[in-house]
């Protein structure tokens, strides 16, 4: 029996939409935890659910009852995480939850059977928690920083926050050998022609966008040594031979000094591997940054534009100007880098003029790809607190997520479907106007019809 069995609640073959996309990535958080605990002398097993089934996980839990299982939780896996809690308890396991979702709802998860919730980074906390569970039991965990648990009187106890790891270079690389990493690479290669592996070069994000959760890393930003990152990329390439990598940092280009040093080391070793990652427009202003990304092999950069209305961006506390987004988009494209853009409808206070500004903004910026979502309030964010009095939960908490919140008085989902239709058709018309005037005219007509329909639906609101 291992000291800890680590697992999560993402089952790829249960999700039709994910099967259409087929871009799975390894659970890095669990793999970092596995590597750290093994280095500290613990026996660790990782049960990766991505390509597995609930039946297989249930069988594993039944095989050696009575151990400790750690479950990673995120926004989209609440129902599955609760299923793991229930199944594990059937076989006498002590259940520890970690990740942003359970950190936002510790008491809710404890009331539904979880024994301990880890809040914040898990490595050091778990190294203290595992022997504490063995020696003191699950109801006497007073003083184990970074945990929430139920004491012997049935009361929820929240221990002090644990200090974050200051030197993240002291952490070992993710334990990719604990799972079938090659299957992730091959799945990408089969469906997209390029195998891919994910890694991070930093932890956390210092920016304070109102709708973004900082449940695990807070507002910290800790950067790894560039040479160690190159070492890891070289190991990934030599071991798994992917055609690309995904830098899963919140903002890859925060430190320009780091970026240039990283490029220098990659070039010194003759390494250039295609990748995509995320930036902020205000951290990609200069030719030097764009050139560094291109030199490293960046073929697509993702930018959170969110809105074309400066008024809405300011309300979101984005700290970015619309003009900066347009500049960064065109700059990246000049260096042969595709731009993906994220956009958000329905932020608190958005009006028709803000939607119109977003349509014009995307036409002007002309990103290669763009996606929209309707803003949803994640617990413990500024946006959540702002709209809390108007929140209505439209689902059963156990089977839903924060995406199921409805904001009383906000425009209907149909309204935002018209906004999508207006946006996508207007951008298509703009792109086609010089090459296919007839198609452009048809798209412009569809855009106008959607705009009129949006105005007609303006009185439809969420209940």
pLDDT tens per residue, range 111-168: 999 999 999 999 999 999 999 999 999 999 999 999 999 999 999 999 999 999 999 9
Nearest to 171 by CA among 128, 124, 221: 124
345 and 270 share a domain?
yes
Q: Which pTM does this prediction carry?
A: 0.96
Give the model's pLDDT for residue 395. 85
Mind listing the pLDDT tens digit for each residue in 210-227?
999 999 998 989 999 999
192 and 333 share a domain?
yes
- In this structure, what CATH number is given to the domain that contains residue 56? 3.40.50.280
Give the model's pLDDT for residue 427. 98
Mind listing the pLDDT tens digit for each residue in 308-319?
999 999 999 999
Q: Is the separation of the CB atoms in 314 and 347 below 8 Å?
A: no
Mind listing the pLDDT tens digit for each residue in 236-273?
999 999 999 999 999 999 999 999 999 999 999 999 99
Q: Is residue 462 part of a domain?
A: no
Sequence-distant (6+) residues with CB within 8 A of 122 are: 29, 33, 70, 98, 146
Q: Is the separation of the CB atoms in 125 and 162 below 8 Å?
A: yes
Q: What percentage of the chain carries pLDDT values higher than 70?
A: 100
**pLDDT for residue 303 is more than 80:** yes
147 and 199 share a domain?
no
Q: Is residue 246 part of a domain?
A: yes
116 and 186 share a domain?
no
pLDDT confidence bin for 463, thresholds 50/70/90: confident
17 and 138 share a domain?
yes
Give the model's pLDDT for residue 1. 87
Q: Is residue 108 part of a domain?
A: yes
Once rounded to an integer, what is the mean pLDDT over residues 345-368? 98
CA distances to 353, 354, 428 from 364, rounded to whole Å, are 16, 15, 12
Q: Is the separation of the CB atoms in 149 and 110 below 8 Å?
A: yes
Give the model's pLDDT for residue 61. 98
Q: Is the separation of the CB atoms in 6 and 95 below 8 Å?
A: no
In DSSP terms, 52 is beta-bridged to none
Q: Is residue 400 part of a domain?
A: no
Give the model's pLDDT for residue 394. 83
154 and 187 share a domain?
no
Q: Is residue 116 part of a domain?
A: yes
Give the model's pLDDT for residue 462. 86
Q: Using CA atoms, how far apart are residues 312 and 393, in angstroms rounded to an integer?
A: 25
149 and 218 share a domain?
no
117 and 235 share a domain?
no
Mind listing the pLDDT tens digit for each residue in 35-76?
999 999 999 999 999 999 999 999 999 999 999 999 999 999
pLDDT confidence bin for 109, thresholds 50/70/90: very high
pLDDT confidence bin for 332, thresholds 50/70/90: very high
Q: What percentage of the chain carries pLDDT values higher than 90?
A: 97
152 and 78 share a domain?
yes
What is the overall mean pLDDT for the chain? 97
335 and 214 share a domain?
yes
Give the model's pLDDT for residue 425. 98
Give the model's pLDDT for residue 172. 98
Tokens of 413: 């989902």
- Total number of domains in the chain: 2
242 and 364 share a domain?
yes
**pLDDT for residue 360 is more than 80:** yes
Domain stop point among 327, 343, 369:
369
- In this structure, what CATH number is given to the domain that contains residue 318? 3.20.20.70
Q: In a 3-state reduction of DSSP, which class is residue 414?
A: helix
Dihedral sign, Cα of residue 105, residue 111, residue 114, residue 116: positive
Q: Is the separation of the CB atoms in 344 and 423 below 8 Å?
A: no
127 and 221 share a domain?
no
Domain stop point among 369, 403, 433:
369
Q: Is residue 144 part of a domain?
A: yes
Question: What is the chain's percent helix, strand, coil content, to nearest 5?
Answer: 45, 15, 35
pLDDT confidence bin for 182, thresholds 50/70/90: very high
Q: Is residue 437 part of a domain?
A: no
Once rounded to an integer, what is the mean pLDDT over residues 301-307? 97
- Domain carrying residue 214: 180-369
Q: Is residue 399 part of a domain?
A: no
Question: Locate tokens 């329909």: which residue?
Answer: 453
Mind listing the pLDDT tens digit for each residue in 192-208?
999 999 999 999 999 99
Mind listing the pLDDT tens digit for each residue in 417-428?
999 999 999 999
């Amino acid at each position: 029996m291992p000291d800890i069995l680590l697992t999560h609640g993402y089952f790829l073959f249960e999700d039709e939409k994910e099967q259409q996309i087929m871009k799975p990535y390894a659970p890095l958080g669990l793999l970092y935890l596995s590597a750290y605990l093994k280095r500290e002398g613990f026996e660790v097993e990782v049960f990766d659910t991505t390509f597995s089934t609930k039946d297989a996980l249930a069988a594993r839990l039944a095989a050696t009852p009575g151990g400790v299982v750690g479950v990673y939780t995120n926004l989209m896996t609440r129902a599955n995480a609760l299923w793991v809690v229930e199944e594990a308890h059937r076989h006498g396991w002590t259940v520890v939850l970690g990740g942003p979702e359970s950190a936002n709802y510790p008491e809710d998860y404890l009331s539904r059977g979880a024994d301990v919730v880890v809040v914040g980074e898990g490595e050091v906390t778990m190294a203290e928690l595992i022997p504490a569970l063995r020696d003191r039991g699950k109801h006497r965990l007073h003083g184990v920083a970074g945990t929430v648990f139920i004491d012997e009187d049935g009361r929820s106890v929240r221990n002090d926050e644990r200090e974050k790891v200051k030197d993240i270079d002291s952490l070992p690389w993710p334990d990719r050998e604990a799972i079938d990493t090659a299957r992730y690479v091959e799945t990408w290669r089969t469906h997209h022609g390029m195998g891919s592996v994910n890694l991070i070069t930093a932890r956390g994000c210092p920016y304070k966008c109102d709708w973004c959760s900082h449940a695990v890393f807070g507002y910290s930003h800790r950067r790894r040594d560039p040479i160690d990152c190159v070492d890891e990329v070289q190991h990934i390439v030599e071991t798994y031979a992917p055609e690309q990598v995904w830098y899963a940092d919140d903002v890859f280009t925060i430190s320009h000094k780091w970026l240039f040093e990283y490029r220098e080391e990659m070039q010194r070793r003759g390494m250039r591997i295609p990748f995509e990652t995320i930036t902020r427009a205000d951290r990609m202003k200069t030719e030097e940054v764009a050139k560094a990304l291109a030199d490293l092999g960046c073929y697509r950069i993702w930018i959170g534009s969110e809105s074309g209305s400066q008024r809405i961006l300011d309300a979101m506390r984005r700290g970015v100007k619309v003009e900066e987004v347009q500049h960064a988009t065109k700059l990246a494209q000049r260096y042969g880098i595709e731009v993906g853009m994220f956009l958000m409808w329905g932020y608190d206070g958005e009006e028709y003029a803000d939607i119109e500004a977003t349509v014009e903004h995307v036409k002007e910026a002309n990103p290669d790809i763009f996606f929209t979502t309707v803003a949803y309030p994640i617990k413990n964010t500024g946006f959540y607190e702002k709209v809390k009095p108007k929140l209505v939960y439209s689902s059963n908490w156990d089977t839903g997520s924060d995406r199921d919140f409805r904001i009383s008085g906000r425009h209907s989902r149909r309204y935002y479907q018209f906004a999508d239709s207006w946006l996508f058709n207007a951008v298509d018309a703009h792109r086609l106007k010089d090459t296919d005037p007839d198609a452009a005219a048809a798209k412009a007509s569809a855009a106008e019809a959607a705009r009129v329909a949006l105005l007609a639906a303006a009185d439809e609101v969420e209940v």
